[in-house]
Structure 1
Amino acid sequence: MTSETTTDLDTSYRDPALPVADRVERLLAQMTVPEKAGLFFQCMISIGPDGELGDGNPAFSIPSPDELVAGRHLNHFNLLGPLADPAVAARWQNKLQELAASTRLGIPVTLSTDPRHSFTDNPGAAFNAAAFSEWPETMGLAAIGDEDLVERFADIARQEYVAVGLRCALHPQVDLATEPRWARGFATFGEDADLTSRLGAAYIRGFQRGDQDGAFGPGSVSTMTKHFPGGGPQQDGEDPHFAYGREQIYPGGQFELHLKPFEAALAVGARQMMPYYGMPVGTEFEEVGFGFNKGVITGLLRERYGFDGIVCTDWGLITGHMIIDAFHPARAWGVEHLSERERMIKCLEAGVDQFGGEYGADLLVDIITAGEVSEDRIDVSVRRLLREKFELGLFDDPYVDPDRAAATVGNADFRAAGEAAQRASLTLITNSAGADGTPTLPLRPGLALYVEGIDPDVAAAYGTVVGSPAEADVAVLRLKAPYETRATAFENFFHAGSLEFPADVVAHVTEVAAQVPTVLDVFCDRPAILTPFVDAAAAIVLDFGASGAALLDVLSGRARPQGRLPFDLPSSMAAVVASRPDVPFDTADPLFRFGHGLSYPES
């Protein structure tokens, strides 16, 4: 029987001298069903005004912190929104921990986050760097291809996270980007299984390194590797955040290939795993979303790979929510007909430990009380969840120092490392010679520059900025990979659909290039179709998250381009449509191959 009162509470679980396993059992023995149920939910949360706890987040239908922590016994939260002031964030974190400490058992909060070290701003996937050091997207790290650099990035990110109290990274994303249209490809290491495996392992090592001898512990950030068993093979490249993208298909029979990066992650001690929303079609597994899929979670992950860490569902499998401007149904693909109660039970039977983006602890309490899921089964997950908090040192000291946070996050050394990585990730794919036989890049000093997509004040440090192509010696145009507009604001954060540039964009670039040698830079959050520009542009650079200054440093020769394509660059949409979404390098006659990249001669 569990204790329902604070009288005679055995607080020995707070003794750091005891083995973690003993501390877990001593705490578990005193937990009520509602306290156990609260551990199962990882709800979204936002920093309140001026670092106060605030009243919740109506845009995502989220109750107040007091209701979540004191009322529903929740103590795992996913921090929403860019973080502008590290000291404010640290003070807010401490207030949240004080609220948790005031509860009967004082179970500390674990704060998690989506990636927040690059240029993306998508409330469903990643946040821009804001106060943190600014790096290229994961795809840009893949373009550099250096394991040591990836581990260094992760170690810096770890230090910045820990400084403000973020102790769980909802990344890395080691899916293989084998469907060029997929909106989540930018957060992967590309479509090559070996490169992804090497870099994903380095990423985990950097984040999970602790302060003591590098072992996992109080200085670590626990990684939640995603999306098991591989989220890349999407039907028509659509994303399963939405019903039209719910199917994952394997016409090339490459299901096993997509497991390789997860095997590498497990080999270096990945602590947590997140299954994706998608449902496998035409495989040996039940055609239900991976978070409901016992054959995948228990059969593959638990039994075949022996994984005893935390499995957390992706966000919003049980209940639908109002998100930004529209109601989005639960991503209960394949089990849409089940009630919320039945969905929750199916996830637990599949082997999950946590429900991402949910806060329905009362429903789980009712399920346990009714005997529909045994308390012994619940305790299996509770042990895993408590163990992680103890090993992270949260029971011993959950607080952070606001002054240290301000000094650590985005410090000069960290920013310099991120800016160097931005420059290194830039990938030069064409560089034609002018009439004198000299390659267009690097640009000569003192040229008249016409720029689009670059702040003229930044460009002025590299040449004389002029107002039209006709006045220029060279034009530098920055574009973003195209995407199709969808019905809601939330959908449009996920760039999907055709990879072809609209006719008016092609016409504009062609018109400028006819007047002046033109350098085209394309932000490739997906592998855009660049065929119309290859003959027109004097040089083409791909970027995966780089500032205007980083780009111009490379164009001017202050830095050398080092990036190599982390995917095949398709030559046409016909080739993309004809390719098999589970098979890497399957588009016919690609414009440029994986690994392509030019540089400048050594000076």
Structure 2
Amino acid sequence: MTLEEKVAQLLSVPVEALVEGKRLSREKAGELLKHGIGEVTRVSGSRLGLKPREAARLVNEIQRFLVEETRLGIPAIIHEESLSGLMAPTATNFPQSIGLASTWDPELVYRVASEIRRQALLVGARQCLAPVLDVCRDPRWGRTEETYGEDPYLVAAMGVAYVRGLQSDDLSRGVIATPKHFAAHGFPEGGRNIAQVHVGVRELREVFLYPFEAAVKEGGALSVMAAYHEIDGVPCHTNYWLLTEVLRGEWGFRGFVVSDYFAIRQLITVHRVAGDELEAAIQALEAGVDVELPGADCYKRLMNAVREGVISERAVEEAAAKVLRAKYLLGLFENPYVDEAAVPESLDSREARELALEAARKSIVLLKNDGVLPLNRDKLRAIAVIGPNAAEGRALLGDYTYTAHLALEELAVEAVSILEG
């Protein structure tokens, strides 16, 4: 492999940069994919609003270009979000993680993740950026709903079940799980997202690292996402001790580490530990971040870094090897394509909705009753439904559903409000 081809495996590209309308632009692909690419960011979960068959067709167009029009013919990993269901139009919406945790049922989480895998495979997604294994110890944090709660053992049990369900026993028919945000993201100063985390090593290991260790050792997670914040002044994306000594050295992790979206650039703009994109790329790669998401703003400069002698080509090779190994385990070299004829009009199904309903029912927690419930229909004349979101179905959707995450005006799914229900 040439240096350009090795670096390309560490890069990603948003699907919007590759298309004209809803189809692959050969001109854009020729520029952005000429040396190959590690990952393509969110085809089904993009703002293109693709129906399942349109998404599958576009994935095939991208993979066919990479296989037939590049020197080495290496397919890409297509990644999506899947915290409470595949983040795509027509996909099933499951309860948020905090709701699934309230079921105390890892086997149910396994079945939910298995159904997410089925839907992801239909549209060519082979990596999902989930589960969230942040142990939340501050309810002021606005992303509490994404977590399995405050107990590290419960978070670990649910996380392992999710990883196993998503990846399956045979990764050639599975989807890579990406536990995030590594690590201690759920314990920010003042409950503010991305704020500094101040924690001692013992508490860090016993509480916040424990679920990730279980996901790696017991679940076999093949990818991990680094977190935005700093731990005691050291950004997670430059933390060699965390990403290499602990994750790989102590736990034996053999997968690849991805950046959180735009987090490597934040080494310049937020953490101010790097002066430019080149410095940020070098710091992240040397710490143990293998792939930059969602684009290649910083890592595309690694070619110059090697040529100028400020980083070794060996460092690039080691990271590229991890990505290539994952592609091999996924079976992408044998078959990178989706069977478009098998893709339904809707990813959702009756069985999936029944599973979502089961999960929702089991997630309900009755904190206090005092003999009020169940209500007596014969004596009931009216029920007051109070609050600004009482008639808003959108409010029931998690922040990683397609509608909510992209802040769309129209709902991508039918959502029944509390008042309507």
TM-score (norm 1): 0.60
Unaligned runs of 5+ in 1: 1-30, 56-62, 119-125, 282-286, 320-328, 434-438, 449-472, 481-508, 510-521, 527-544, 554-603
- Which residue among 34, 39, 43 is the counterpart of 2:9? 39
How far apart, CA to CA, are the structure 2 residues paired with 1:173 and 1:254?
Answer: 19
SS at match of 1:345: helix
Q: Report the equivalent of 1:491.
A: none
Contact 1:116/1:132 (<8 A) preserved: no
Is residue 263 of structure 1 aligned with residue 227 of structure 2? Answer: no
Instruction: Give the drift of 1:339.
Output: 2.0
Describe how 1:496-575 pairs up with structure 2 within 5 A: 547-548=415-416
Q: Report the equivalent of 1:229.
A: 183
Q: Report the equivalent of 2:317.
A: 379
Is residue 474 of structure 1 aligned with residue 412 of structure 2? Answer: no
How far apart, CA to CA, are the structure 1 residues paired with 2:161 and 2:419?
Answer: 26
Deviations 1:382-435 (A, max 9, x none): 1111011111011111111223221672122112211332233233333355xx
Instruction: Give the drift of 1:479.
Output: 5.4
Q: Report the equivalent of 2:295.
A: 358
- Which residue among 372, 377, 397 is the counterpart of 1:444? 377
How far apart, CA to CA, are the structure 1 residues paired with 2:38 and 2:250?
Answer: 31
How far apart, CA to CA, are the structure 1 residues paired with 2:270 and 2:278?
Answer: 15
How far apart, CA to CA, are the structure 1 residues paired with 2:190 and 2:417?
Answer: 36
Q: Report the equivalent of 1:130.
A: 89
Is residue 279 of structure 1 aligned with residue 233 of structure 2? Answer: no
SS at match of 1:159: helix
Contact 1:312/1:353 (<8 A) preserved: yes
Is residue 141 of structure 1 aligned with residue 129 of structure 2? Answer: no
Query: 2:302 is aligned with what amino acid?
Result: L
Contact 2:84/2:97 (<8 A) preserved: no
Q: Report the equivalent of 2:46.
A: 81
| Higher mean displacement: 184-193 or 77-86 | 77-86
How far apart, CA to CA, are the structure 2 residues paired with 1:186 and 1:314?
Answer: 19
- Which residue among 253, 271, 292 is the counterpart of 1:307? 253
Query: 2:374 is aligned with what amino acid?
Result: L
Query: 1:53 is aligned with what amino acid?
Result: L
Contact 1:277/1:331 (<8 A) preserved: no
Is residue 53 of structure 1 aligned with residue 24 of structure 2? Answer: yes
- Which residue among 411, 426, 435 is the counterpart of 2:364? 426
Unaligned runs of 5+ in 2: 400-412
Contact 2:79/2:129 (<8 A) preserved: yes
How far apart, CA to CA, are the structure 2 residues paired with 1:408 and 1:221?
Answer: 20
Residue 347 to residue 331, structure 1, CA distance change in 2 (3 Å)? same
Contact 1:42/1:78 (<8 A) preserved: yes
Instruction: Give the drift of 1:341.
Output: 1.0
Contact 2:258/2:289 (<8 A) preserved: yes
Instruction: Give the drift of 1:197.
Output: 0.7
- Which residue among 56, 71, 76 is the counterpart of 1:104? 71
Residue 309 to residue 371, structure 1, CA distance change in 2 (3 Å)? same
Residue 342 to residue 154, structure 1, CA distance change in 2 (3 Å)? same
Deviations 1:336-389 (A, max 9, x none): 452221111111211221112231454111111122211122111111110111
Is residue 406 of structure 1 aligned with residue 344 of structure 2? Answer: yes
Instruction: Give the drift of 1:173.
Output: 0.7
Deviations 1:506-531 (A, max 9, x none): xxx9xxxxxxxxxxxx96979xxxxx
Q: Report the equivalent of 1:529.
A: none
Residue 546 to residue 182, structure 1, CA distance change in 2 (3 Å)? farther
How far apart, CA to CA, are the structure 1 residues paired with 2:300 and 2:110?
Answer: 41
Deviations 1:467-490 (A, max 9, x none): xxxxxx21233656xxxxxxxxxx
Deviations 1:449-506 (A, max 9, x none): xxxxxxxxxxxxxxxxxxxxxxxx21233656xxxxxxxxxxxxxxxxxxxxxxxxxx
Contact 1:318/1:358 (<8 A) preserved: no
How far apart, CA to CA, are the structure 2 residues paired with 1:91 and 1:373?
Answer: 39
Deviations 1:73-97 (A, max 9, x none): 3240220437651111111111111
CA RMSD in angstroms, aligned pairs only:
3.0
- Which residue among 47, 50, 60 is the counterpart of 1:94? 60
Residue 366 to residue 197, structure 1, CA distance change in 2 (3 Å)? same
Q: Report the equivalent of 2:403.
A: none
- Which residue among 213, 233, 238 is the counterpart of 1:292? 238
Query: 2:6 is aligned with what amino acid?
Result: K
Contact 1:426/1:551 (<8 A) preserved: no
Q: Report the equivalent of 1:122.
A: none
Q: Structure with the greater relative contact order (CA < 8 A, sep ≥ 6): 1 or 2?
A: 2
How far apart, CA to CA, are the structure 2 residues paired with 1:390 and 1:229?
Answer: 28
| Higher mean displacement: 378-387 or 75-84 | 75-84
How far apart, CA to CA, are the structure 2 residues paired with 1:426 and 1:254?
Answer: 31
Is residue 69 of structure 1 aligned with residue 12 of structure 2? Answer: no
Contact 1:479/1:523 (<8 A) preserved: no
Contact 1:136/1:546 (<8 A) preserved: no
Query: 2:356 is aligned with what amino acid?
Result: G
Q: Report the equivalent of 2:409.
A: none
Contact 1:134/1:419 (<8 A) preserved: no
Contact 1:317/1:331 (<8 A) preserved: no
Which structure: greater strand fraction? 1
Residue 162 to residue 550, structure 1, CA distance change in 2 (3 Å)? farther
Number of positions where the alignment pairs a residue of Structure 1 with one of Structure 2: 396
SS at match of 2:231: strand
- Which residue among 329, 346, 369 is the counterpart of 2:307? 369
SS at match of 2:177: strand
Identity %: 29
Deviations 1:137-178 (A, max 9, x none): 111111112111100000000010011000001111101011
SS at match of 1:311: strand
Instruction: Give the drift of 1:132.
Output: 0.8
Query: 1:99 is aligned with what amino acid?
Result: F
Contact 2:41/2:80 (<8 A) preserved: yes
Contact 2:98/2:149 (<8 A) preserved: yes
Q: Report the equivalent of 2:140.
A: 181
